[in-house]
Amino acid sequence: MKKSIHPQYFPKAKISCACGAKYEIGSTVPEIAVELCAACHPFYTGKQKIIDTARRVEKFGDKLTKVVAGAKVAKKAKTEARTAKKKEKAVKAS
């Protein structure tokens, strides 16, 4: 191994999470700040944690309800147009 190309290794690097948890592991960086860790990550805790910035979750929900409502209205209009065509054909045939 070449001596001059490898970064310095810190065997007791300090990692601090936004939730307040602190860990010590080996790393090439002496201090690391993270937003999520095993103590607060939803995968490990089983709790859903939604961080809503600029109402993005609410906007998505609103958009989704409009799309679903619009699809129902469009479907009703299609079926009404189809039944009207069938009635016209029945009237012309008789």
CB of 38 closer than 8 Å to CB of 52: no
Residue 52 pLDDT > 70, yes or no? no
CB of 40 closer than 8 Å to CB of 59: no
Residue 69 pLDDT > 80, yes or no? no
Residue 28 pLDDT > 80, yes or no? yes
Structural class in CATH, domain 1-48: few secondary structures
Residue 44 pLDDT > 80, yes or no? no
- For the chain, give every domain's residue range: 1-48, 50-94
pLDDT for the residue numbered 12: 95
pTM over 0.75? The answer is no
The arithmetic mean of pLDDT across residues 36-60, rounded, is 78
- What does each C-alpha distance from 59 to 43, 48, 55, 64, 72 come to in angstroms? 25, 19, 6, 9, 20
Share of the chain above pLDDT 70, in %: 93
